[in-house]
């Protein structure tokens, strides 16, 4: 894991290998950041969103061996933004989950928990960023 934090302490940038253990470690770092920002009320939803996005990147982003996945946790004036960057240009596509299948629900979970989420091109780089935003309880859209 490689870590960088902005001087104002409102962003944490981490790089992960594609090993499944990275997901749990990334959640731990997210929890630390949320506690430091006074956003612990977002912890459960944020950790689940991060797990789904990072697992998708590790499982589906077909990139050269050794390429890392980057996560960014950004404390914003209206809550939290989680980003997962990878070097694959293949965008995730939500699908209707099969009740009999053990997988395929990740983006549906993200959609249910996040205020907003989306996919975009990486600034100045190859690949994509998948992002989600969360507002503290009682302050989100429609509340």
Map 7-59 to HEC letters. Answer: CCCCEEEEEECCCCHHHHHHHHHHHHHHHHHCCHHHHHHHHHHHHHHHHHHHH
Domain boundaries, the chain: 2-134
Look up residue 105 and give its two tokens. 């629900």
Specify the pTM.
0.87
125 within 8 A of 117, measured Cβ to Cβ:
no
Look up residue 13 and give its two tokens. 């940038």
Please tell me the class of the 2-134 domain: alpha beta
pLDDT tens-place string over residues 48-67: 999 999 998 888 776 666 67
pLDDT tens-place string over residues 68-80: 899 999 999 999 9
Name the residue with higher pLDDT: 97 or 126: 126
Tell me the mean pLDDT in the region 5-9: 64
pLDDT tens-place string over residues 102-130: 666 789 899 999 999 999 998 877 889 99
């Amino acid at each position: 894991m490689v870590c960088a934090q902005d001087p104002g302490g409102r962003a944490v940038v981490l790089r992960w290998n594609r090993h499944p253990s990275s997901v749990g470690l990334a959640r731990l770092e997210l929890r630390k950041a949320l506690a430091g920002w006074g956003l612990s009320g977002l912890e459960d939803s944020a950790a689940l969103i991060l797990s789904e996005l990072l697992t998708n990147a590790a499982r589906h982003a077909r990139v050269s061996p050794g390429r890392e996945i980057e996560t960014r946790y950004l404390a914003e004036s209206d809550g939290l933004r989680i980003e997962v960057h990878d070097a694959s240009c293949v965008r995730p596509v939500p699908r209707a989950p099969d009740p009999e299948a053990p997988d395929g629900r990740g983006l549906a979970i993200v959609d249910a928990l996040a205020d907003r989420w989306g996919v975009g091109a990486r600034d100045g780089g190859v690949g994509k960023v998948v992002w989600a935003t969360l507002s503290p309880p009682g302050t989100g859209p429609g509340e």
